[in-house]
Chains A and B, each alone.
Chain A
Amino acid sequence: MSIYLLVDFGSTYTKILAVDLAEEIILGRSQSPTTIETDVTIGLNKALAELVDVCGVDLNRVEGRYASSSAAGGLKMVAIGLVPELTLEAARRACLGAGAKLVSGYGFEIDKEIVEEIEAAECDIILLCGGTDGGDKKTITHNARMLAHSNVDCPILVAGNRAATDAVKETLEKHGKKVYKTRNVLPSLETVEVEPAQELIREIFIAHITHAKGLDRAAEFIGGPIVPTPKASLQAAALLADGAEGEQGIGSLMVVEVGGATSNIHSVMEQSPVTPQTVLRGLPESRVKRTVEGDLGIRYNAPTIYGLVGRDVFLQRLRGLYPALDEQRFDPDAHIDYLSNNVGYTPTAELELAADIVLARSAVSIAVERHAGTVKQEFSVVGEILVQRGKNLLDAENVIGTGGIFRYGLHPERVLQAALFSPETPWSLKPRAPKTFIDGDYMLYGIGLLATDHPVQALRIAKKYLRI
């Protein structure tokens, strides 16, 4: 036996997954409401007690513990850049890839109104970028001055034009701001370099945010740093795709996570043009990519999804899943309203389960469409040419669904179908014919937590427990 506990302090629940690394099996899982407002260890201890009940694990024989957290709002960041499609986009990617929740992003020179927005957002870290190395200095210098005179008290990470960084740092420090600096997220116009910024975000999270979020005692229990939950999921995705020494991965993949408030899409796949002649536009795409749709979740944001889809289409899709639908007795408006006001609600009746699936399908469809690239035809002297923007996922080999709906839902595979290529939207480069998997044990975050120290065992467990 070699027992490891993998804890996730979620926004709603503290979840624990117990695995045996020697046997490469999952021993059990438990959860209890997160108690971040009072003392995070109360919820943790309840979950631990439940874990003992569920699988009889002997807590004295635990060999290691890892944890992730998205409690107390997760890692909230604001990104500031210059041109929206260039340094701001690179800054956004740096934040998302570090597992942050991007509160907002601003391009060009920020004004008083924006500064007030940033102050009100109460974010954890501000990522300040702008200008390629040797490029524009004016904007980042202006933006630093604006922040220097603001009431912002979170750490500011400067990752812009190298030639302006020291001056920017000095300006901010003179006004008492906590400043970190690292390499430019866009050192030249063709190179996105977000890793140094992400590494520093991780360090700042461990050094400041763990404490600020009341996670000190949790970190004590774990005996090591706590990472943002999305970062753990991203690590799991990369491990599953790439494999570890001596254990093959499953190849290129996309992970679809539908939550109550947001939808997360991760993809691990080399960027490629749809045809060799296709013209690629926009910043180079990274191999490991994460996007978050803050407006697409099946509880808090059920009304948003419903609004995007429309009542008629919603009912039509619902009838497709639940032909016995009696429209005299079911009022979709009221149901959606109920869901957004009862975010912990888990349906049991078939009609309500079907409604959840329609919501999740719609969320997935839109979220993946925003994550994946597009292709369109343009005409020129030499005939028709294809212009591609964003990431080509047509040939992704695997799609994995994770999140509550895939655990309690009636037909989780139906939700995943919405992530696939559709002839109705041929311009959207979604996966055409991947293998589909369901993370029914909600273990992906745990796999990610193990990925650094125990990659081979973690990978084997993941492969064993992902359901087709």
Chain B
Amino acid sequence: MSKRQANRSVVIGTIGADAHMIGGWVLEKAFRAAGFTVAFLGAVVPQQEFINAAIEIDADAILVSSMYGMGVLDCEGLRQKCIEAGLDDIILYAGGTVAAPLEIEKNWPEVERRFEELGFDRVFPNTCTAEGAVAALKADLGIVD
């Protein structure tokens, strides 16, 4: 993967059949406050819409929120589709209750491993703060303010 020229733009949304929206909304505020262009897609977003939005705003990253425990299933295949869509260097994050709560609590390394396998760059538990997410992305993009 080639290191992209940071464009300070992200796509945020809640994936799959999940209607939880607050997490993504909080992230939107935080990223805007940090000077990012944000395409906030709301809830119940199919993979295709994340990708379409990312192409349109030339996004640096797609931030996927998932609160209902099926994050792994919903995120499967997103990396492959990004490659096909010409987004081969895009950064992928997932966050929230991305797997069954018990698994998150007891076996976080396994959750991280599964997301790494899916081609995600980072995965965050639901205890992560919005500022933490902004800091992580800035670091990954090599942005120093």
Contacts and interface: CB of A to CB of B under 8 A. Distances in A.
Interface string A274-285: 000001011000
B77 A281 contact: yes
Contacts of A85: 77, 80
B116 to A, nearest CB: 18
A378 B103 CA distance: 14
Given A281-B76, A381-B97, A135 B84 contact: yes
A85 B83 CA distance: 11
Nearest to B78: A189
Interface stretch (B3-11, B26-34, B47-55): B47-55
* Interface-central residue, B76, B80, B101, by most chain A CB under 10 Å: B80
Given A380-B69, A380-B73, A387-B73, A82 B48 contact: no
Contacts of A87: 84
Contact of A378 (B73, B88, B97, B101): B73
Nearest to B51: A189
B81 interface: yes
A382 B68 CA distance: 8
Interface string B54-78: 0100000000000011100100110
Nearest to B16: A279
Nearest to A136: B86
A82 B84 contact: yes
B128 interface: no
Interface string B91-127: 0000001001100000000000000000000000000
Interface string A75-103: 00000001101110000000000000000
B19 interface: no
Given A281-B77, A378-B73, A382-B69, A189 B48 contact: yes
A131 B48 contact: no
Contacts of A82: 83-84
A337 interface: no
A190 interface: yes
A189 B47 contact: yes
B112 to A, nearest CB: 18
Interface of B: 47-48, 51, 55, 68-70, 73, 76-77, 80-81, 83-88, 97, 100-101
27 contacts: A83-B81, A83-B83, A85-B77, A86-B84, A87-B84, A132-B85, A132-B86, A134-B55, A134-B86, A135-B55, A135-B86, A135-B87, A136-B84, A136-B86, A138-B86, A138-B88, A161-B86, A188-B48, A189-B47, A189-B81, A189-B84, A189-B85, A282-B77, A379-B100, A380-B100, A381-B68, A385-B70
Given A381-B101, A387-B73, 11 more contacts: A131-B85, A132-B86, A134-B85, A136-B88, A138-B86, A189-B81, A189-B85, A381-B70, A381-B97, A382-B70, A385-B70
